[in-house]
Amino acid sequence: MDMELSGTKNFLRHINNPHLAPIQRIQSTLLHEMQSFAREQGFVQLMPIMMSPFTDPLNHDVYPAEIQYRTVPLKLTASMIFHKQLALIRQDIDRIFIVSPNIRLEKPENKTSKNHLLEFSQFDIEMRDAGMEDVMVFLESLLVEVFRRLESSVTEELSILGRSLPRLKAPFPRYSSDDLRERYGEDFYRLISEQTTVPCFVTNFKREFYDREDPERPGTYRNFDLIYPQGYGEALSGAEREYLYDDILRRMKELGMNLEAYANYLDVARQGLLPRTAGAGIGIQRLVKFICGKQNIAEVCLFDRSVASDFVF
Amino acid sequence: MDMELSGTKNFLRHINNPHLAPIQRIQSTLLHEMQSFAREQGFVQLMPIMMSPFTDPLNHDVYPAEIQYRTVPLKLTASMIFHKQLALIRQDIDRIFIVSPNIRLEKPENKTSKNHLLEFSQFDIEMRDAGMEDVMVFLESLLVEVFRRLESSVTEELSILGRSLPRLKAPFPRYSSDDLRERYGEDFYRLISEQTTVPCFVTNFKREFYDREDPERPGTYRNFDLIYPQGYGEALSGAEREYLYDDILRRMKELGMNLEAYANYLDVARQGLLPRTAGAGIGIQRLVKFICGKQNIAEVCLFDRSVASDFVF
């Protein structure tokens, strides 16, 4: 029982932290402003799903998160990337967003990370017949407008936290990862975040098969990250998607992926039914951490789901 | 491959159903109106969590949905009931809501159910220092106002579906389950839903330990369901909560529960820290089904998660 007692003590200390209420209020208002802005721009909100025969393979290694329903093995949602594509098969819905819980059972090497959670929520968007530039422009206007609205709607909460929101201005600078790597070395990501005073886009990462390889410039990828300034690190990832059967197959084979697990998805692609889309997923807790000026993402969660969590509740 | 092909054929037929887009648009607007109304009433939106050492034991038997993170066994969220209570330990947040995905791996006996999903989302609310009547009044005003707003905001979508929204009026009738059982027999629940033309509350069910037993009238429970008219069945459950250590312990023992699994929760209760709350969880897909006038809940889901689902995606 001693361990539990010390666990609840830690939990009670955390939940009674005076900053936690203003942070939750800011998060609540943020969710309202993001959803409202997306609706104003014609986005339709879809419901999240949490389990499916397949999910995002991710670009980094995590422990599997799987259950079984009767005889069906199901993966817990790492992201809704494929389901966003499939939802846009319909021609009469163009733009979607989902407040989507993601489960990513990080390996212990991320135990000291102040930017990773074992479960978090994404503000996940996807647009039909759009390119990466369309998505970047939407994200810029979303963040600029949401920050502007927050300044007047959560003034008191920000002041309790001693935080002045940076005034954002579109367009955000855009860099290519090649240029940055050449200039700053492999650690460019951290360096850029620490040195910049405005959010900036970094384009062209070789990663998951579903981020589109530029057909004009093989080896170049039509994807991007947004990086927060002041050392807050990664904000979001986005991309144009591979949607042509031959391209998907080639990319999956390059990465040595198990095609069988994607049989139904490939079947839809082979019929030429996957829509041309682009999208992104904004980590909500990371955005809250940035808005609230907190160093550790665990500080913005009511229930600690950081990699070092003791899972009291 | 044949099974997959027939699976994707079914999926493509489903997703191209002309009613699916208006249903998704209605659901999107509904989410906006529900969240906006709750905010107007002073509710703060919290983030969902999907895994925890403990979750709602539920009142009916489902297959376990569990994973393990390193050495920690975690249950997938069946409902956020306990986390709602714990969130309200803080004295400066009074009313919360969460759009909360729930996973409930129903047994095959529910395979023909047109009202059950293996995963769905709740609009989950909890209020501090509130009684069941406060929650019922809030739910009435929420539904009356949201239906009123929907009538003008999704007129076209409702007309495509050939659906006239019932005009709701508060208060909804309130019945006691004892009276209904006496009058209609054990099947009263289905009969009431089929015979009534307005939503109605039914109170007093003996079920999970956390629904408060009336201290003045032992054997009577301060909980309720809301039943949709026109045969649409259960809308939501709500209750005052047990929050006193001795009461919780007595109720758990009555039900022969494993106390060890609730050690941390009981530790907080023993310190007298659990707040006095009441709340409810509105099944979003069931509400969409009622609003859209659909017979089968699978018809309102982009990705079929009914108990009979073939899990193509």
Question: For residue range A86-109, what is the model confidence (pLDDT) as tens digits?
Answer: 999 999 999 999 999 999 999 999
Is residue B45 within 8 Å of B96, Cβ to Cβ? Answer: yes
User: Would the pLDDT of A1 be above 70?
Assistant: no
pLDDT-derived band of residue B119, with 50, 70 and 90 as boundaries? very high
Instruction: Please give the pLDDT value at position A6.
Output: 73
Instruction: Please give the pLDDT value at position A5.
Output: 57
Residues of B in contact with A52 (CB under 8 A): 303, 311, 313
Q: Which of B5, B21, B271 sits opposite A93 (nearest CB)?
A: B21
Give me the sign of the Cα torsion angle A150, A155, A158, A162.
positive
Q: How far is CA A280 from CA A46, B92, B157, B309, in A?
A: 15, 35, 28, 29
What is the percent of chain A with per-residue pLDDT over 70, rounded to a whole number? 98
User: Would the pLDDT of B3 be above 60?
Assistant: no
Is residue B23 within 8 Å of B288, Cβ to Cβ? Answer: yes
Quote the ipTM score: 0.96
Q: Which two tokens stand for residue B247?
A: 């009461």
- Give the C-alpha separation, B195 to B192, whole Å: 5
Instruction: Please give the pLDDT value at position B135.
Output: 98
Residues of A in contact with B49 (CB under 8 A): 101, 119, 303, 305
Instruction: Please give the pLDDT value at position B5.
Output: 57
Contact flag B52-A301 (C-beta cutoff 8 Å) = no
- Give the C-alpha separation, A47 to B28, whole Å: 9
Mean pLDDT of B87-97: 96
**Residue B198 class from Cβ within 10 Å (0-12 exposed, 13-18 middle, 19+ buried)?**
middle
Q: Which of B28, B45, B92 sits opposite A28 (nearest CB)?
A: B45
Instruction: Please give the pLDDT value at position A2.
Output: 45
Mean pLDDT, rounded, of chain A: 96
Contact flag B83-A313 (C-beta cutoff 8 Å) = yes
pLDDT-derived band of residue B1, with 50, 70 and 90 as boundaries? very low
Question: For residue range B12-58, what is the model confidence (pLDDT) as tens digits?
Answer: 999 999 999 999 999 999 999 999 999 999 999 999 999 999 999 99
Q: What is the pTM of this model?
A: 0.97
User: Would the pLDDT of A4 be above 70?
Assistant: no
Contact flag B46-A285 (C-beta cutoff 8 Å) = no
Q: Which stretches of chain B are DSSP H helices?
A: 2-15, 20-40, 81-87, 132-153, 155-160, 177-184, 188-195, 245-254, 263-270, 284-292
